[in-house]
Amino acid sequence: MDVKKFRFAVPSWTKVLGCALVGSATIWSGNSNAQETASEPQLRVSLDTPAREVADDNGPARVAANPVANATPHPLDPALLFAQEKLDHLRKHVHDYEAVMIKQERIDGALLPAEYMNIKVRNRRERANGRQPFSIYMRFLRPNAVKGREVIYVEGHNSNNLVAHESGVLGMIRVNLAPNGTLAMRGNRYPITDAGIENLVEKLIERGTRDRAQGLCDVQFFENAKVMDRTCTMIQVKHEEEKEPLDFHIGRIYIDDEHQVPIRYEAYLWPAPGETELPLLESYTYAKLKINVGLKDEDFDPNNKNYEFP
């Protein structure tokens, strides 16, 4: 199949979540020699040939619907429309989930080791006995420097602070931290309030709508992309020119074909002059995703007997 590329204005909408994947190669997050365990999956990502494009041979990109009211149709609109459809699906069908989250980020120019953590997430929803707040529990699995750390955040509770404890000797102390504070943000690109799949999609749409007129890029849709054993549809945005406000060279989001939700986002930077290697900016993967498992208030209670909060 011939590969077609289409260049058009696009923003920094994919900053929200990311990793480095070169061409159609397979990548490994963390230690490539590490043994996979029941709770720590090895990350494998691969791409097939681009299977469908956002434009036809005879004209500009087709726009099924304009996601920006009273705006001139834009070639990025099909991707925004696709994202809005997934957000609608999330809000209607996905109330909570469990997963192994694999995160790797570049902070102040330095690429940090990949972090693995078990997570539980309950999305904002209206329910009979009141509003269900966004809630998240994290237990870090590796690397060893953070193994055993636990974090809980429930929107609007605990003075809107997260509660956490470290591993080892520091695990004897329970702390409450402002999500945007210096300590909570250390080693993180984004606060815990931005975590989770639904927040990811909301941010992508928000930034895409805001910045859809910025810069030139290629946009492609890939079918049969793989994230471990999951088959996905992948949308890729590529910026050729490095300039403000663009902050990544290539961004990709992978939507699980069965669950119809994003399970991976990756982004990487432009190569340094004279080099071909693409520096990783950020990556987030939701492995072993289980949807609508019926999480309860106690799943987000630091006094839960199954947790190790002091």
| 154-196 pLDDT per residue, tens | 999 999 999 999 988 777 899 999 999 999 999 999 999 999 9
Q: Which amino acid is at 267?
A: A
Query: What is the number of other CB atoms lying within 10 angstroms of the CB of residue 275?
Result: 9
Structure tokens given for 238: 């590529």
Record the pTM: 0.79
Percent of the chain having pLDDT more than 70? Answer: 75
Q: Count CB atoms within 10 A of the CB of residue 188.
A: 16
User: CA 59 → CA 5, 63, 64, 167, distances in Å?
Assistant: 13, 11, 14, 58
- Amino acid 170: pLDDT: 77
What pLDDT is recorded for position 37?
40
What is the model's pLDDT at position 239? Answer: 79
Chain center to CA of 210:
19
Q: How far apart are CA 27 and CA 21, in angstroms?
A: 6
Question: How far apart are the C-alpha atoms of 58 and 103, rounded to whole Å?
Answer: 41
DSSP state of 67: S
For residues 129-147, average pLDDT: 93
User: What are 94-135's pLDDT values in tens digits?
Assistant: 999 999 999 999 999 999 999 999 999 999 988 777 789 999
Per the structure block, which two tokens stand in for 185?
Answer: 């943000």
Q: What is the per-residue pLDDT for 54?
A: 34
Reported as a single tens digit per residue, the pLDDT across 249-298 is 888 999 999 999 999 999 999 999 999 999 999 999 999 999 999 999 99
Which of 137-151, 238-252, 271-285 is the least confident region? 238-252
Quick one: pLDDT at residue 72?
60
- Rounded CA gap, 267 and 254, in Å? 12
pLDDT band at 33 (very low <50, low <70, confident <90, very high): very low
Q: H or E segment at 263? A: strand 262-268
Continuous H helices in 61-137: 77-93
Cα–Cα distance, 171 to 149 (Å, whole number): 8
Tell me the C-alpha distance between 184 and 190, whole Å.
10
Nearest alpha-carbon partner for 134 in 199, 179, 207: 199
Task: Please report, for residues 83, 174, 198, 200, 305, the alpha-carbon distance to residue 239 in angstroms, rounded to integers and kept in the order given.
Answer: 19, 44, 25, 20, 49
Under 8 Å between Cβ of 215 and 206: no
> What percent of the chain has a predicted confidence (pLDDT) above 90?
57
Burial letters 56-71, b for 16+ CB under 10 A, else e: eeeeebebeeebeeee
pLDDT for res 308: 95
Q: Helix or strand or coil: residue 145? A: coil
> Which one of 69-78, 133-142, 229-238 scores highest in mean pLDDT?
133-142
Asked if 157 and 294 touch (Cβ cutoff 8 Å), the reply is no
Answer with the residue of higher pLDDT: 48 or 63: 48
Cβ proximity of 211 and 13 under 8 Å: yes
